[in-house]
Amino acid sequence: MKIKAFAKLNLGLKITGAKGAYHTLDMLCASVNLCDEVEIIPRPPFSLEVESNVADFNKERFKSYLTEKINKYALFGSLLNSKIYIKKNIPSGAGLGGGTAVLSAFAFYAMNSGETASNEELSKISSDLPYMLKGGFKRVKGTGDIIESAGIDKELSFLVVKPLGGVDSGAAFLLYDEMVKEGRAKSENKIEDIIRAINAGGEIPFFNDLEPAAARLNKGISPLKDSLEKAFERKAFMTGSGSALALLTSGDEDTDEILKSVEGYAFAAKVKTENLGVIF
């Protein structure tokens, strides 16, 4: 089976509390037309091959990450008797779902082979997994297990730019907690304001509660954001737990020319929103 698993952008990310060892979130997510390509052939013995042209991608680390997930979760058990080929187009450690995209392809394959899993079970594998199997504009709550329609029927275009290096999601959440204990005020931003602005055609108040923590962990985020906002004369925002930044563009804008004045990035791509999660 050949599967395409699409990247996502967090147009808004609010940390609302905690549930056991997990943070609870309120997010507006959108899938975009950047995808990883996965081919699964049910023939032993197990093998895993990955190719990628993405700058600063660590192939061996990514293979270890996937192998650990396959061995840990029963949902992926059938993959242990399969040959897996991956073309990695989504950067890892960027907040674009680069780790989860391939896992969503694995879950799609398993569930189409008769396995079952609830959103709660999927979210324990990766908080983005329930959403990334569905895709489109969705409001994602809880630990990633509550997926609601966002009521948006529009196509948006973005420029996505990643600095050198990524951000470890777990480290970003831990640092966020430390910063709150130090007295950093919690965000008053609301997902509803983003949805309302998109549908009304007004200025969109993108936000991400994790950005201050991520910017401490990856020192390239803040200067790249400043450079992008100066070059494009509009607000940039961080997606997921970082390190990638995005800014809204018109579909025909010559972003390549403007990017020539921006330094300190490892990856850049023009993307548009799609009503896609995983397809085969």
In a domain, 26, yes or no: yes
From 111, 136, 151, give the residue that closes a domain.
Answer: 151
Verify that 103 and 209 share a domain, yes or no: no
Each residue's pLDDT tens digit, 239-272: 999 999 999 998 788 999 999 999 889 999 999 9
In a domain, 81, yes or no: yes
Verify that 132 and 163 share a domain, yes or no: no
Measured CA to CA, the distance from residue 225 to residue 272 in angstroms comes to 20
Average pLDDT over residues 142-165: 96
In a domain, 102, yes or no: yes
In a domain, 189, yes or no: yes
Verify that 67 and 103 share a domain, yes or no: yes
Identify the active-site residue in 8, 69, 134, 162: 8
Encoded tokens for 53: 């042209």
* Residue-level pLDDT at 179: 94
**Residue bearing tokens 């996965």:** 38
CATH classification at residue 201 = 3.30.70.890
Measured CA to CA, the distance from residue 70 to residue 75 in angstroms comes to 8
For 229, phi and psi rounded to 5 degrees?
Answer: -65, -35
Verify that 86 and 214 share a domain, yes or no: no
In a domain, 116, yes or no: yes
User: In this model, does residue 185 exceed pLDDT 80?
Assistant: no
Identify whether 8 is a catalytic site residue.
Answer: yes
User: In this model, does residue 116 exceed pLDDT 80?
Assistant: yes
In a domain, 109, yes or no: yes
CATH classification at residue 141 = 3.30.230.10
Reply yes or no: is the peptide bond before residue 78 cis, omega within 30 of 0. no
CB atoms within 10 A of CB 250: 8
List the domain range (segments joined by +) for residue 196: 157-272
Verify that 236 and 262 share a domain, yes or no: yes
Closest CA to 21 of 97, 100, 123: 123
From 103, 128, 151, give the residue that closes a domain.
Answer: 151
Identify whether 209 is a catalytic site residue.
Answer: no
In a domain, 278, yes or no: no
Each residue's pLDDT tens digit, 38-86: 999 999 999 999 999 998 899 999 999 999 999 999 999 999 999 999 9
Verify that 93 and 211 share a domain, yes or no: no
Verify that 7 and 130 share a domain, yes or no: yes
In a domain, 169, yes or no: yes
Verify that 143 and 164 share a domain, yes or no: no
Closest CA to 9 of 208, 258, 262: 208
Average pLDDT over residues 207-230: 96
Identify the active-site residue in 128, 134, 162, 209: 128
* Residue-level pLDDT at 12: 97
Q: What is the DSSP letter of 278?
A: E
**Share of residues in the chain with pLDDT > 70 (%):** 100
Average pLDDT, the chain: 95
* Residue-level pLDDT at 55: 85
Verify that 163 and 204 share a domain, yes or no: yes
Structurally, the chain folds into a number of domains equal to: 2
From 151, 171, 200, give the residue that closes a domain.
Answer: 151
Verify that 103 and 231 share a domain, yes or no: no
